[in-house]
Amino acid sequence: MVKVKNADEIRNLIINHPLEYRRIFSIAAHIDHGKSTTADYLLRRAGLMSDSAAGQARGTDYDQEEQDRGITIFTSVVILSYEYDDHLYIFQINDTPGHISFTGEVSRALRGSDGAVILVDALEGVMTQTETNIRLSVGEEATKPVLFINKVDRLISELRLKPEEVQGKLETIIKQVNTLIRRVAPEEFRKTWTVNLVNDSIAIGSAKDGWAFTLSILKEKGVNFTTVFQKYSEGDIAWLRENLPLDDAILRMVIKNLPSPKDAQKWKIKRIWRGDLDSEAGKALLSCDPKGPLLGMITKVFVDPKSKRPILIGRVFSGTLKSDDTIYLIGKRQKHRLKRLGVMEITDLLDVPQIPAGNLFAAFGFICPAGESFTREGTEIAGFEEISYAAEPVVSVTIIPKNPQDIARLGDVVNLWISADPTAQFVYDNETKRYVLSGIDPLQIQILTTRINEQIQINVEDPIIVHRETIMRKGQEIHTKSPNGHNRLLLYVEPLDPATVELLKKREVNEDMDRKEMARILADKAGWDAKSGRNIWAIQDTNILVDMTRGVQRLDRVQEFIIQTWKDFCRKGSLAGEPVMNTKWVILDATVHTDPAHTGLSEILAMTNAACNITFLTADPRLYEPILQIDIKAPAEYLGEISKILNQHRGMILDTIQEDYAIRVKGKIPTSETLNLADEIRAATSGRGFFGYEFLGFEEVPPYLAEKKIAEIRQRNNLPPEVPRPEQWQRFVYVRS
């Protein structure tokens, strides 16, 4: 039975409907596996799309760029009600992107979800982004999975497989998905979260043709799998759509297998919240109590395509958010008053006076980065853990306003889009007087610059691949002096231990934390002594600055100057002016003049910069490049051509897997070698090869290429051709007389 959707009904359901009849979930898949087409049928069920448009309109791809490219770029939220087994259910659904450029959208949607519909193309099978989505949903965000195997029509119509051959293909996909789930699921759920046909946690169908089934639905209808083949041979797709409607199969699978907010938060909160679970707030979070202290999270910044107005979307995990609230942003340490409150339906904000725990919400009135935790003004509660992202920004462009008078406004516009997508970064280069925008790959950069250009006309330089600089050993302890000779600094650099690097990457340790809490985490998880952890001055990416001085007077006066100079160095290392990674900097001693006139920025900057460069250059610095894991699937006869392409691009095959009708090649390849890769793979496989990739990490540039690559990057960064030597800062070295 379809419930007629209207504003008053939705308001009532949001405020009053029992938690056990709610489901909040995301649809996640590899690109082009059919998420948005599937979502069309859920839109139809919600009364937002006609029967004829479902499966073709891609209604959740509201943005013109999405329609033009035929891909999902931004997560869309859909709310619908559905009656099943004499109970009314309310669903809050996120349709997420499938391209690696936009995995940040997936991560943020999953943070606000309790479950995930993992969607897999029956022909292409499990691909790179499928694996990433399972890792993000099941592993990182503890969202329970169900599986929809889509595009079964391709196996029947294109490959003309027999029923038993199709079943074999489906069994392979199910086995691969379950292997991944067991690998990353919370330990207590590694068996119970696997999917199977018997408990209806798997649906099989075709979003293009609008049909799907679970095992229970087949039994209810008195049909079997061969009926599907029969209807295709008869050309009677309408029968399948009418008798095995896709939306019924998906929603019934979700009801039976995905948890309510109250059930999900019993385990999810333990993974995403760092506070005391025995406290009043902790108990309210675990029970999803609408009467408890308010705590929620902003998971998305929706920028209206027409007005460019930002709307904040998130989830209330405990307490009740009210339309007249003044909320406190825990990370930003700011308070803001709401101007509008409600829920999103794709691009529309439906006003709702209050949003209890266990709901997604939408708010208007201020801007903050996605991922921000909030509570009610005057309440002290720990915020949620930082969201873990699958990739790092490794591609940069310089952007310049066509009208020089727009330089200040450009910063505001870009900051809006960076708030919406924190996987990108944006800095102002004081030396070149230009803005530098960095992202995951050229597509993400292209989307962002298109958005920016809609508001301010800009010139965009060609994208560049951003490398990293790091060290192999401890550098010399360097004692430097300021140009006026009145101040001194003694420090050294050493490689940062891998455990701490991981804590920084996952944002379990970050600069905004209380230092006692930071010290505790570093001691427990990375073996730091308590004093070092409490004395951390600053963090820049995966670099840490620690003050280990004793009894130095007036050091606080120049602390900010030292931190500023150190951070600038970490953004532009000595080798090639690229960002520094995985280093620990230790200040051992310092002398600060009594007269503030002798401790200005220029004096401290020169002294600190000299110390950073010298110790870094004596620590065996190396240049590292970003590496992608690539996953190629093609007919087996093209293995030789694929191997040849990877070898030509400095790639490496890590594994080859023979599947039913194809060979799957897993490998790695430098990001800089992928610019024309798609065209080459299509040409080499006669258009029959599919591939995806994800960020793998950074690896050292091969020694035979390093010198040339460093020279190229130095030229690009407008630096002198030769790598500097420590002797160039000799005049700043302090020598005891």
Examine the pLDDT at 243 and tell me if it is beyond 50: yes
Phi and psi for 77 in degrees, rounded to 5? -110, 130
Question: Which of 358-362, 391-395, 484-488, 559-563 bottoms out in mean pLDDT, i.e. has the lowest?
Answer: 391-395
Examine the pLDDT at 57 and tell me if it is beyond 50: no
pLDDT of amino acid 74: 44
pLDDT of amino acid 1: 29
pLDDT of amino acid 63: 44
Helix (H) or strand (E) holding 443: helix 442-455
Write the burial class of residue 187 (CB in 10 Å: 0-12 exposed, 13-18 middle, 19+ buried): exposed
Helix (H, G, I), strand (E, B) or coil at 142: coil
Distance of CA 160 to the CA centre of its chain: 39
Question: Which of 342-346, 487-491, 585-589, 617-621 bottoms out in mean pLDDT, i.e. has the lowest?
Answer: 342-346
Handedness of CA 559, 561, 565, 571 (dihedral sign): positive
Phi and psi for 676 in degrees, rounded to 5? -115, 20
Please give the Cα distance from 357 to 343 (Å, whole number). Answer: 13
Distance of CA 572 to the CA centre of its chain: 25
pLDDT of amino acid 58: 40
Instruction: Give the pLDDT band (50/70/90) at residue 592.
Output: very high
The answer to whether the CB of 193 falls within 8 A of the CB of 138 is yes
CATH classification number, 395-466, choose in 3.30.465.10, 3.30.70.870, 3.30.470.10, 1.25.40.80:
3.30.70.870
Please give the Cα distance from 38 to 250 (Å, whole number). Answer: 9
* Total H helices, total E strands in the chain: 23, 32
What CATH number labels 7-260? 3.40.50.300
Please give the Cα distance from 654 to 612 (Å, whole number). Answer: 38
Domain coordinates of the chain in residue numbers? 7-260, 267-376, 395-466, 467-496+542-737
Structure confidence by residue, pLDDT tens digits, 599-616 = 999 999 999 999 999 999
Most confident of 169-173, 489-493, 692-696: 489-493
Range list of β-strands (E), 165-304: 202-206, 211-213, 295-303
Phi and psi for 127 in degrees, rounded to 5? -120, 180
Fold: same for 7-260 and 467-496+542-737: no
CATH classification number, 467-496+542-737, choose in 3.30.70.240, 3.90.1860.10, 2.102.10.10, 3.40.50.300:
3.30.70.240
Examine the pLDDT at 566 and tell me if it is beyond 90: yes
Q: Percent of the chain scored above 70 by pLDDT?
A: 93
Q: Percent of the chain scored above 90 by pLDDT?
A: 57
Structure confidence by residue, pLDDT tens digits, 195-210 = 999 999 999 999 999 9
CB burial string 609-643: b at 16+ within 10 A, e below = bbbbbbbbbbbebbbbbbbbbbbbbbeeebbebbe
pTM reported for the whole predicted model: 0.76
Average pLDDT score over residue span 656-685: 84
Examine the pLDDT at 72 and tell me if it is beyond 90: no
What CATH number labels 267-376? 2.40.30.10
Helix (H, G, I), strand (E, B) or coil at 308: coil
pLDDT of amino acid 291: 96
pLDDT of amino acid 431: 66
Examine the pLDDT at 50 and tell me if it is beyond 50: no
Average pLDDT score over residue span 435-459: 84
Helix (H, G, I), strand (E, B) or coil at 244: coil
Please give the Cα distance from 90 to 313 (Å, whole number). Answer: 18
Name, in order, each residue with C-beta under 8 angstroms of 440's C-beta and a sequence gap of 6 or more: 100, 101, 103, 104, 391, 392, 393, 394, 395, 423, 424, 695
Phi and psi for 495 in degrees, rounded to 5? -60, 140
Secondary-structure breakdown of the chain: helix, strand, coil percentages, each rounded to the nearest 5: 40, 30, 35
Instruction: Give the pLDDT band (50/70/90) at residue 51.
Output: very low
Structure confidence by residue, pLDDT tens digits, 684-725 = 888 777 777 778 899 999 999 999 999 999 999 889 999 999
Please give the Cα distance from 442 to 465 (Å, whole number). Answer: 9
pLDDT of amino acid 462: 81
